[in-house]
Structure 1
Amino acid sequence: MQTTIPLTRDLVLIGGGHTHALVLRMWGMKPLAGVRVTVINPAPTAPYSGMLPGFVAGHYTKDELDIDLIKLARFAGARIITGKASAIDTKAKAITVGDRKVAYDVASIDVGITSEMPDMDGFADHAVPAKPLDRFAERWDGYRKSASRPRVALIGGGVAGAELAMAMAHALRHKDHRVTLIDSGKVVSQFGDDARKHLLEALEENGVEVVADAKVDRITSDAVLLEGGTPIPADFVCGAAGARPHEWLKKTGLTLYDGFVSVGPTLQSSDPHVFAAGDCCYMRHAPRPKAGVFAVRSAKTLFHNLKAELSGEPLKGYQPQKDYLKLVSLGGQSALAEKMGQSFKGPLLWKWKNHIDTKFMRKFSELPQMGLAKLPSQVAKGVREELGDAPLCGGCGAKVGRSALKEALADLPQNDRPDIQSVKGDDAAIMDVNGQKQVMTTDHLRAFTEDPVLMTRIAAIHALGDVWGMGGKPSAATVQIILPRMSDALQRRTMAEIMGAAADVLGQAGAAIVGGHSSIGSELTIGFTITGICDRPVTLEGAEAGDEIIITQPIGAGVVMAGEMRGLAKGRDVVATYEAMLQTQAEASRILTPDARAMTDITGFGLAGHLANICEASGLGAQIKLIDVPTLAGAEELSEQGVRSTIWAENRGGAGAIYGNRSPKFDLLFDPQTAGGLMAVVPVEKAEELHEQLLLSGYKAAIIGKMTKSDGITVS
């Protein structure tokens, strides 16, 4: 009998900086058993600073610039929380992220720096800081593409500001543009005379106007006003002056130096359970300038010391190099190199820099294949075929197929109770309790994300969908939880997170938690049994020929989740899919219920399978216009690559007669949805009005076809 190693410690990485990205990669190759790893970052990606000027200049795409933290977290077996940390309570060992607390045993901070200028009049309203990089990169990308007569100003004439100014000028070279670099002192004064001379020449060659020894008074929507009233025309203003620590670090109680977390050789702060690395820390044993090279080279030490602190082993020290090679982009595909007072520039140095940067990024885009667990040498027939070469999906991708379920239910005794109404294919039953119609349903999901809060919210909305899909209003719920094996402390933390999230979602839906059950198993599974009140129950039967079909949410969640498990889905598409799953269908149900003749939620059987249920119950067929079916970002691309959820083949075979030409989008009709939208069949004269109401309420709804008298489902 195989023993499951229990989880006993929480490691939380705050920030997705270069050091933490490398730690995650190393953790994926050599994890410490018994540790649950969490990554907290505001976005699903983390831009690589070394390639930012190249991106600004147009040499790299946004995808090439970004480290995909979703993929990296999956590789490391970590959960990722997309949010911004705002506080650390070292006594309670908890990190504040939005409205939630994340507990830790050991934590590490790698949040970089900021170049915000909160004291500068107008900066918050009319400018963007160069750091954090993700916000700046997004704003610049939009401006570069849309501006017809760009006027750009950069405040801060250090190396970073000069590098960005030249990159911007290069990107805008085919437009009538003006780029101005403003500094309160000498521009690029950090370099020696030789390197500074080369940089000033490069600024001139790129057409960058340099304004030195100038102080900014305020920023308006169309200009930077200097002291004395001189205006610098600008409708895109970037702050690149100085390296400022994040303000929230002041409230942590950790020892700081000029606002940066003070660390010793082991990279531990004044609290031995909190480490720090990268630009947000100050190495008091060996002060160094803010440079990515130190963040990258400290990763091995941080990885070793985090594992050592969590396992009780000795820690080791990090001693940074005294000098390092500085490579600066010069706008076009040319670069300057400086070390120990010597400098050189030219296209060959750009090629060298490009080689170094792209090699670094391949560490995250080409993750090692760690392989599945080896099978015993002798196994029963069919084991290898059943396992396949892809991991088992979670959520609705792990459900039993429609045809298998129909067969299992076919031989059950028919319901003949007058107080219970059930329609074949419906996920819930309608009961008559003292003259009041009530709906009852149950559902549970095998986890597809390591974050129990996110998983709970999705599972709750998924279960509520059966009530909303019958026109009901949720009233009461019980919770069923299976936790993976873990220590008592982690059980308490996890249960608190789950129940807090469940109470929030169910409470907003109008349902009170009245009980439940919990146990320990092999993996996280969360379920709910829910009852609701139905004034006008809507079932699968009742559709009429000519009625139009409305869905309230794009499809493709199953393939995106399957792609995420295999490291193929883009992180931003995964997060967008999570956001779609988190949209409740309460308002959609309220809008559709008065007019719907038949309705259901789209979940495990996919759009085609649930439409087949309506067709079967109503004795009709259906016609779908594939072009009108909305899909989630990345879903069609993954489908074209052949990515399929575990249950896809069963859904395809169990949906009955489907007529149409196969294509990647056609295949998504059989994709299992978790917390999917509603599908309603409505009279043709009401369809446009209802569709408009759904759009105004924030749903990405669509009219996708109509009911027909013919058999089967036709896709055109």
Structure 2
Amino acid sequence: MQRQIPLTRDIVLVGGGHAHALVLRMWGMKPLPGVRLTLVDPRPVAPYTGMLPGHVAGHYTADEIGIDLVRLCRFAGARLIIGAADGLDPVNRVLSVGSRRIGYDLLSLDIGITGDLPQVPGFDRHGTPVKPFVRFAAGWEDFVAKGQGPAVVIGNGLGGVELALSMARRLGPGRVSVVGGERVAHVGAALNRVLLRQLRALGVVLVPGRVVGVEGGAVHLADGRILPSAFTVGAAGATPQPWLEDTGLPLSDGFIRTGADLQVEGHPGHFAAGDCAHLVASPRPKAGVFAVRAAKVLFHNLRAAAMDKPLRNFRPQRHFLRLVSLGDRTALAEKWPALPLAPAGRLIWRWKDRIDRRFMSRLTDLPPMVAPDSGEIATGVQEILGQAPLCAGCGSKVGPGVLHQVLLGMDRPARADVISGPGDDAGVLEIGGRRQVLTTDHLRACTEDPGLMARIAAQHALGDVRAMGADPQSALVQVILPRASDAIQARMMEEIMQAAGDVFHAAGAVILGGHSTMGAELTIGFTVTGLCDAPITLGGARPGDVLILTGRIGSGVELAGEMQGKARGADVVQLWQRMAEGPGDVAALRGARAMTDVTGFGLAGHLMAICRASGTGARLDLAQIPLHPGALELSEQGVRSTLYPANRDHAPVFSREDARTALLHDPQTAGGFLAAVAPDQAEAVLADLRAAGVEANRIGEITEGPVGITVGTSPT
């Protein structure tokens, strides 16, 4: 038997900067068994700064400059925690991410800098820092769309001027000003001449002076002048992340002091790279080239530290090449600080473009990982292994046909206090004159983040209770943890129980206890009870009833696409967040005649369960069924969940099969609710759900038999 390698070391990467992105790629090519690698970043996609000016000028799309951290973490076998780090206890080795506490053994910081100008009154309310770029990009696109008013860039350094040139290329002459001086700061004479000539050509005005205030529509200078501004950008230097001041780490002007081995001074096991770090022995300007060059040493040293082996030193070059975009598909080159010349033109732009695209391809065109040779195997094994990887979440369930046949063959001794058994969403018991519903569910992890997975699994398990119209009462926890050291298992359990406790507390239920064991992979489940007076079952639907769906479908395809490296990271993170948030206030559905949650057997499978129990048919209006972002595109590419074939065979839909109808059989994790509502109540129910902030849609109707599902246009 092949032994599973236990997890013994936690390495946490804070920030998805260039150095960490490259570390993730290298880790995927050469992982270290026994390490649990984690990336913490508030964004699913990190921009590549070398292409930002081109994006502002309109030469690159957002997708072309985006490093998909979800896909990169999947390749590296790392968990991704979406959130902004805001505190650090280096003594007890705990990172704070909002209300979460993330324990670690080794930690690396690559959190960059901000463009905030805390010394300028009003900038925090009326200005836009160029970093973090996500905020700037949103403000910039909104400003461009409105197409009115001038823009002011605060800061006449190379970064501010390069940004202003790109903005002017998009807006036209006479609409961009740069405040700070009559020349470009901190550049050589040759570079300055080229930049000034290009600023004049694009109609960008250099305004000498110091900004003393920003308000809506204006920038105030120290000499009393007021510049009109509909979009004010902060690019006046590097501002360190303010939360570092409270960490106890040694800082130099707010930047983390590191030795030649990239370890934080006086804090073994803590590393820093990129713009947030200050190399004490060899200080360098804040330039992305140093983060890229440091990545290889950082990768080696993190592995070495995890194995208690010697570390290497990082020796940054003294001279480095600067390629500066001039806004109009031309660029200039400077070998800083040695080259006295600054050649410019379209050839330099093409050179820069080729370098930038080659860098991005390293992080986006990830090599496929080849499975090891299985050797001699029994008949039938290769057919299963040759299929798509086993899906996570509800996509890994046993098929409905198999489950249905097993349940039909069960011997069910009668008990007066057992009202219903297998067949509905939950069993119903008579206890003390009240009805108690009882259900259990567990999920194979669809994310490596135990806290996030616990929230998703808890919402998923609560779905069966809510579908019966019951109030959640209690829960028992079942957890399978991967084999790991006591410290890592304790960290995982703490994250799981905190997250699950938050979900059940918000639902009005209490966690009574549970059971845990070790296994091959993370699996989380819950047994849940709820109380009600009259359970909503599957069997009450009548012809003419309106079918109402809350939420969206397509999560199975999205999760399968994420596992295959085909889904967009932003779509996956949005899906994770939707699943973890739960269905919202669906009390308006308690008057439904029949209801179920839409989970593993897909929308068609769960609708078929209502039809079979009620002896009716159903008609769906495909155009009214909302989909998760990216689900249809993945379905068109042929991406399917593992459970899809079994779902399709168990609940056939009388319609031509295409990418959209295929999603009717897509297994859902922590999905919404499907309810059959009396036609005279449907509009009121929809209005109440939407008023409560629940996404709800009329997607079809119940029809006369025979039992089955057709696709057409429902009457309005």
Instruction: Supply the distance in 1 between the matched residues of 2:15 and 2:611 (Cα, whole angstroms).
Output: 50
Per-residue CA shift, 1:236-292, capped at 9, x if unaligned?
111000111111111111111111001111000021111000000011111110001
- 2:170 matched to 1:171? yes
Shift of 1:584: 2.2
Instruction: Supply the distance in 1 between the matched residues of 2:55 and 2:642 (Cα, whole angstroms).
Output: 38
Shift of 1:194: 1.2
Tell me the equivalent position of 1:222.
217
Identify the range of structure 1 (385-394 vs 448-457) with the bigger mean alpha-carbon deviation: 385-394
Shift of 1:618: 0.4
Per-residue CA shift, 1:72-128, capped at 9, x if unaligned?
000000011111101110111000001010001000000001110123121111111
Tell me the equivalent position of 2:589.
592
Shift of 1:416: 3.4
Instruction: Supply the distance in 2 between the matched residues of 1:302 and 1:122 (Cα, whole angstroms).
Output: 39
Instruction: Supply the distance in 2 between the matched residues of 1:697 and 1:343 (Cα, whole angstroms).
Output: 61
State percent identity of aligned pairs.
51
Tell me the equivalent position of 1:195.
191
- 2:355 matched to 1:359? no
1:243 to 238, 248, 254: 238
Q: Contact (CA 8 Å) 1:600, 1:610: kept in 2 or not?
A: yes
Query: Which secondary structure state, in structure 2, belongs to the residue aligned with residue 325 of structure 1?
Result: strand
Instruction: Supply the distance in 2 between the matched residues of 1:428 and 1:710 (Cα, whole angstroms).
Output: 26
Instruction: Supply the distance in 2 between the matched residues of 1:692 and 1:586 (Cα, whole angstroms).
Output: 14
Tell me the equivalent position of 1:97.
97
Q: Contact (CA 8 Å) 1:83, 1:98: kept in 2 or not?
A: yes
- 2:172 matched to 1:180? no
Tell me the equivalent position of 2:247.
252
Shift of 1:363: 0.8
Q: Contact (CA 8 Å) 2:6, 2:34: kept in 1 or not?
A: yes
Instruction: Supply the distance in 2 between the matched residues of 1:585 and 1:345 (Cα, whole angstroms).
Output: 56
User: Root-mean-square deviation (CA), in Å?
Assistant: 1.2
Tell me the equivalent position of 1:107.
107
Tell me the equivalent position of 2:294.
298
Tell me the equivalent position of 1:326.
322
Tell me the equivalent position of 1:643.
639
Instruction: Supply the distance in 1 between the matched residues of 2:423 and 2:193 (Cα, whole angstroms).
Output: 77
Within-5 A mapping of 1:239-638: 239-270=234-265, 271-339=267-335, 340=338, 341-376=340-375, 378-414=376-412, 416-422=414-420, 425-585=423-583, 587-588=585-586, 590-593=587-590, 595-638=591-634
Instruction: Supply the distance in 1 between the matched residues of 2:35 and 2:589 (Cα, whole angstroms).
Output: 47
Per-residue CA shift, 1:351-395, capped at 9, x if unaligned?
00000001000011100111223212x211111111224211111
Tell me the equivalent position of 1:3.
3
Query: Which secondary structure state, in structure 1, belongs to the residue aligned with residue 63 of structure 2?
Result: helix
Query: Which secondary structure state, in structure 1, belongs to the residue aligned with residue 320 of structure 2?
Result: coil
Tell me the equivalent position of 2:654.
659
Q: Contact (CA 8 Å) 1:327, 1:335: kept in 2 or not?
A: yes
Instruction: Supply the distance in 1 between the matched residues of 2:186 and 2:388 (Cα, whole angstroms).
Output: 52
Q: Contact (CA 8 Å) 2:174, 2:204: kept in 1 or not?
A: no
- 2:71 matched to 1:76? no
Tell me the equivalent position of 1:120.
120
Shift of 1:542: 0.5
Shift of 1:327: 0.6
Shift of 1:586: 5.4
Instruction: Supply the distance in 2 between the matched residues of 1:80 and 1:475 (Cα, whole angstroms).
Output: 32
Tell me the equivalent position of 1:677.
672
Shift of 1:683: 0.9
Instruction: Supply the distance in 2 between the matched residues of 1:142 and 1:459 (Cα, whole angstroms).
Output: 38
Q: Contact (CA 8 Å) 2:549, 2:696: kept in 1 or not?
A: yes
TM-score (norm 1): 0.97
Query: Which secondary structure state, in structure 2, belongs to the residue aligned with residue 705 of structure 1?
Result: strand
Q: Contact (CA 8 Å) 1:596, 1:683: kept in 2 or not?
A: yes
Instruction: Supply the distance in 2 between the matched residues of 1:147 and 1:690 (Cα, whole angstroms).
Output: 38
Shift of 1:423: 6.5
Query: Which secondary structure state, in structure 1, belongs to the residue aligned with residue 325 of structure 2?
Result: strand
Instruction: Supply the distance in 2 between the matched residues of 1:518 and 1:460 (Cα, whole angstroms).
Output: 16
Q: Contact (CA 8 Å) 1:126, 1:221: kept in 2 or not?
A: yes
- Using a 3 Å threshold, how does the CA distance of structure 1 residues 200 and 47 change in structure 2: closer, same or farther? same
Q: Contact (CA 8 Å) 1:468, 1:585: kept in 2 or not?
A: no
Q: Contact (CA 8 Å) 2:332, 2:345: kept in 1 or not?
A: yes
Equivalenced residue count is 707
Query: Which secondary structure state, in structure 2, belongs to the residue aligned with residue 361 of structure 1?
Result: helix
Q: Contact (CA 8 Å) 1:423, 1:540: kept in 2 or not?
A: no
Shift of 1:152: 0.9
Per-residue CA shift, 1:518-555, capped at 9, x if unaligned?
10111111110010101231010100100001111010
- 2:17 matched to 1:20? no
TM-score (norm 2): 0.97
Shift of 1:667: 0.7
Instruction: Supply the distance in 2 between the matched residues of 1:72 and 1:541 (Cα, whole angstroms).
Output: 46
Tell me the equivalent position of 1:49.
49
Q: Contact (CA 8 Å) 2:425, 2:467: kept in 1 or not?
A: no
Instruction: Supply the distance in 1 between the matched residues of 2:221 and 2:682 (Cα, whole angstroms).
Output: 58
Instruction: Supply the distance in 2 between the matched residues of 1:177 and 1:383 (Cα, whole angstroms).
Output: 69
- 2:226 matched to 1:231? yes
Q: Contact (CA 8 Å) 2:153, 2:164: kept in 1 or not?
A: yes
Tell me the equivalent position of 1:35.
35
Q: Contact (CA 8 Å) 2:116, 2:129: kept in 1 or not?
A: yes
Instruction: Supply the distance in 1 between the matched residues of 2:176 and 2:357 (Cα, whole angstroms).
Output: 28
Instruction: Supply the distance in 1 between the matched residues of 2:116 and 2:423 (Cα, whole angstroms).
Output: 57
Shift of 1:229: 3.3
- Using a 3 Å threshold, how does the CA distance of structure 1 residues 226 and 415 change in structure 2: closer, same or farther? farther
- Gaps in structure 1 of 5+ consecutive residues: none
Q: Contact (CA 8 Å) 1:39, 1:81: kept in 2 or not?
A: yes
Instruction: Supply the distance in 2 between the matched residues of 1:424 and 1:498 (Cα, whole angstroms).
Output: 29
Instruction: Supply the distance in 1 between the matched residues of 2:535 and 2:16 (Cα, whole angstroms).
Output: 48
Q: Contact (CA 8 Å) 2:615, 2:705: kept in 1 or not?
A: no
Shift of 1:415: 5.7
Q: Contact (CA 8 Å) 1:548, 1:684: kept in 2 or not?
A: yes
Instruction: Supply the distance in 2 between the matched residues of 1:296 and 1:73 (Cα, whole angstroms).
Output: 18
Instruction: Supply the distance in 2 between the matched residues of 1:701 and 1:630 (Cα, whole angstroms).
Output: 9
Query: Which secondary structure state, in structure 2, belongs to the residue aligned with residue 298 of structure 1?
Result: helix
Within-5 A mapping of 1:208-219: 208-212=204-208, 214-219=209-214
Instruction: Supply the distance in 2 between the matched residues of 1:582 and 1:122 (Cα, whole angstroms).
Output: 37
Tell me the equivalent position of 1:698.
693
Shift of 1:414: 4.3
Shift of 1:662: 1.8
Shift of 1:696: 2.1
Q: Contact (CA 8 Å) 2:182, 2:206: kept in 1 or not?
A: no
- Using a 3 Å threshold, how does the CA distance of structure 1 residues 286 and 219 change in structure 2: closer, same or farther? same
- Gaps in structure 2 of 5+ consecutive residues: none
Per-residue CA shift, 1:589-630, capped at 9, x if unaligned?
x1110x200001000000000000000000000000000000
Shift of 1:221: 1.4
